[in-house]
Chain A
Amino acid sequence: MIRKRILSRKFNRRQFLKSTAAVGVLASTLSSRHAFVGFAQSDMPSELLDAVAGESGELNIFNWSDYIDEDTVPQFEEEFGITVNYSTYEDNEELLAAVKADPGAFDLAVPTQDMMFRMRTQGLIQTLNTAWLTNTINLSAQFLKPEWDPNNEYFIPWQWGTTGLAYNSALIDDPRTAGWQLLFDGASDFSGRITMLNEKEELISSPLKFLGLSLNTDDLGEIGQTRDILLNQKPHVSAYLGAEVKPLLITEDVWAAHLWSGDTFQAQCPDEGGNENLEYVIPEQGAELWVDGQVLLTDAPNPATAQLWMNFSMRPSVNAQLTNYVFYATPNQASLDQNLVDEELVSNPSVFPTQDILDRLEFQLERTSEEARQLMCDIELDIKS
């Protein structure tokens, strides 16, 4: 009953934008979040709660920055009486370096699926107690028993998204905006106005996709082709950035960027002072699909509490709240089925791609060939030196 009422009050971004009265609705949603306390405890197995009770009452989370709703942590702290230490990182490599440098500092982290492989190979993560993670049933089919974690025993998805193109439709009126050709063929036409992502895997995936190749290729010849493309493009690239490009997209210093879906929507968000002219495109040749997931670190001081958090994050309401805030896609089918995600996001094919778009997308899997990895490092060095 209570839950129904909250759902009906769930704020919709468009309404929020249009009417100032929505602010009041938002405020009441916030204050009524206390209503959650008590009702949902049943989704946590008592065995898990007992194990949590035997731990320190703290939880050390290591997550990407700007990747959580402001209310999620307080909600968890309040419901379970846990103190959360929340730290952030900027990219997967930083995460890996930090976890290796400081074993035992964190309980859980949120790597992207391909980083998860590397962490697993290096013995940095441990298996989960699947009996405790009852909310796994809420996950979408795509994330239940995926090929990178067939038993759902390492990786609990947090949010997923795509890596594509952001461009300013007021400044660029060009048919090439349909795909990667904008950034590669069009580089000289928009010289100094385009940016590329800084991370090696992302940087090399885009020319691979531009060439119509698989981004998981181990073929040295295919990977080698990206070197020329990237080097030819380099004189015209304004900068190799991560999400730092967002403000520059807003101020129109950068016209087109190689960027992640959710970050583009954040920069677009007009009710927050973003730039409405920004568009996000999943390139026609295909693009990278990724999912960030929670892993339990090997030296986690509070393994049970970490899994309590994971199970909590798979509650339909909690994960929908994340999606509504960060504009990435929820891996939680129940959130969608229960209409907890903003209509505007659900109906946007750039956030939740339709099946025919999904067919063009590809997850980055573990790259097994050492030669291929070496080559990628070498290409990156060419770009960065």
Chain B
Amino acid sequence: MLRRIAAFLHRHPGVYTSLMIGPSSAVLLFLVAVPTLIILYFSVLTRDSSGLIQQVLTLENYASLWDPRFFWVLVRSLALALGTTMLCFLVALPLAYWITMYGGRWKNLLIFLIILPSWTSYLVRVYAWVFLLRDNGLILNTLETVGILAPDHQVRLLFDWPAVLIVMVYSYLDFMLIPLYAALNRLDRPTLEAASDLGARPLRRLWSITLPMIRGGILAGSVLVFVPSIGEFLVPGLMGGNKVNMAGNLLDWAFLQTDNWPLGAAMAMVLTVIILAIIFIYLRSVGKQGTLERFS
């Protein structure tokens, strides 16, 4: 029976292909495309004074986004998301490199140990950071005891952007580390060693030999970090004390706090377009072909 089916599918590759991608196409259609269209539709509806949504088409919601305050939140989100991505990269690269080169048979274990904390709830870990970063918390107290900070210092970490940045890097480090490690691990060690034997200076070697070879990993890692960080609302809310708000907080504000779904939908559309544009430009400029296949 199976043999007959196989033969049939061999003769009709189109059917085979449809069967293989049919289910995921359906999932994408109904859970990505249709919901996006619904958001698009909501973004042009009117909200009346009592908070009810009327089926009256308008571009009002988009117009009200033209506001310097939204603009600055957007700029802040981009800055923090880019900062998170770059810090993740700067931190994950040496770590991944060290593990690949010197990890030996413990390589995989070392990687696992980094990922492991992400198996316990993200929320629990974020709340733990509140207590590490607070004014009388472990980190500032230790720095004071060691003498790095003067006893009367005015350094504050919590409820400001450093805390947001630290915890976002903490949260998304895995997403950068895994692709980088995978890419580095794929390189054969002799290539890397040969480069150093040729007397290439370390930074130059990194820049001109190693980085181009792991470009796929860098691309994947940066996109995987950038996207969730730009939409993040829990970390800026909690670590930024609802002062250092990002685009995700505004979505939360529009949808949940002010109950203005059309405005929220318009924000979501604008944000999606901006993110897609950034990623498109990024992949275009770094990847040669600009298609997403470059990822791997």
Contact = CB atoms under 8 A, between A and B. Distances in A.
Given A192-B156, A239-B159, A198 B242 contact: yes
Interface stretch (B2-10, B45-53, B116-124, B220-228): B45-53
Interface in B221-268: 238, 240-243, 245, 249-250, 253, 255-259
A17 interface: no
B51 A121 contact: yes
Interface in B100-142: 131, 134-137
B67 to A, nearest CB: 8
Interface stretch (A245-253, A273-281, A351-359): A245-253
Contact of B256 (A97, A239, A240, A377): A97
A253 B240 CA distance: 15
B73 interface: yes
Contacts of B249: 384
A6 to B, nearest CB: 39
A252 B136 contact: yes
A240 B243 CA distance: 7
A216 interface: no
Given A121-B51, A253-B136, A384 B259 contact: no
B135 A195 contact: no
B69 A234 contact: no
B50 A381 contact: no
A248 to B, nearest CB: 7
A318 interface: no
Interface string B47-71: 0011110000000000000000110
B207 interface: no
A122 B51 contact: yes
A385 interface: yes
B280 interface: no
B282 interface: no
Interface in B60-104: 69-70, 72-73
Interface string A91-117: 001101100100000000000000000
Contacts of A200: 257-258
A251 B69 contact: no
Given A238-B241, A241-B242, A251 B134 contact: yes
A195 B159 CA distance: 10
B241 A195 contact: yes
Contacts of A244: 238
A122 B50 contact: yes
A21 B240 CA distance: 45
A382 interface: yes
A370 interface: yes
Contacts of A223: none
Given A234-B243, A239-B159, A385 B134 contact: no
Nearest to B249: A384
A385 B134 CA distance: 23
Between B73, B240, B256, the greatest number of chain A beta carbons within 10 A of the residue's beta carbon is seen for: B256
Nearest to A195: B241
A94 B134 contact: no
Contacts of B243: 234, 237, 239-240, 384
A251 B136 contact: yes
A94 B245 contact: no
Between A97, A239, A248, the greatest number of chain B beta carbons within 10 A of the residue's beta carbon is seen for: A239
B52 A122 contact: yes
Nearest to A248: B134
A360 interface: no
A92 to B, nearest CB: 10
A118 interface: yes
A381 to B, nearest CB: 6
B259 A97 contact: yes
Interface string A286-313: 0000000000000000000000000000
A247 B257 CA distance: 24
A251 B255 CA distance: 34
Contacts of B253: 380-381, 384
Interface string A354-385: 00000000000000001000000100111011
Contacts of A382: 69
A121 B131 CA distance: 42
B156 A97 contact: no
A299 to B, nearest CB: 16
B50 A121 contact: yes
Contacts of B137: 253
Contacts of B69: 381-382, 385
A118 B260 CA distance: 13
Contact of A253 (B134, B245, B250, B256): B134
A253 to B, nearest CB: 5
B259 A96 contact: yes
A251 B49 CA distance: 43
A380 to B, nearest CB: 8
B49 A385 contact: no
Contact of B241 (A240, A247, A251, A377): A240
Contacts of A381: 69, 253
Contacts of A96: 259
B256 to A, nearest CB: 5
Contacts of B51: 118, 121-122
B78 to A, nearest CB: 14
Contacts of A248: 134
Given A94-B256, A238-B156, A377-B258, 14 more contacts: A93-B259, A97-B255, A121-B50, A122-B50, A192-B156, A195-B241, A200-B257, A234-B243, A239-B159, A240-B241, A380-B253, A380-B258, A384-B250, A385-B69
Interface of B: 49-52, 69-70, 72-73, 131, 134-137, 156, 158-159, 238, 240-243, 245, 249-250, 253, 255-259
14 contacts: A118-B50, A238-B241, A239-B240, A239-B241, A240-B243, A241-B242, A251-B134, A253-B135, A253-B136, A253-B137, A253-B158, A380-B253, A381-B253, A385-B70
**Leading 5 A-B pairs by shortest Cβ distance:** A239-B241, A385-B69, A240-B242, A370-B49, A239-B159
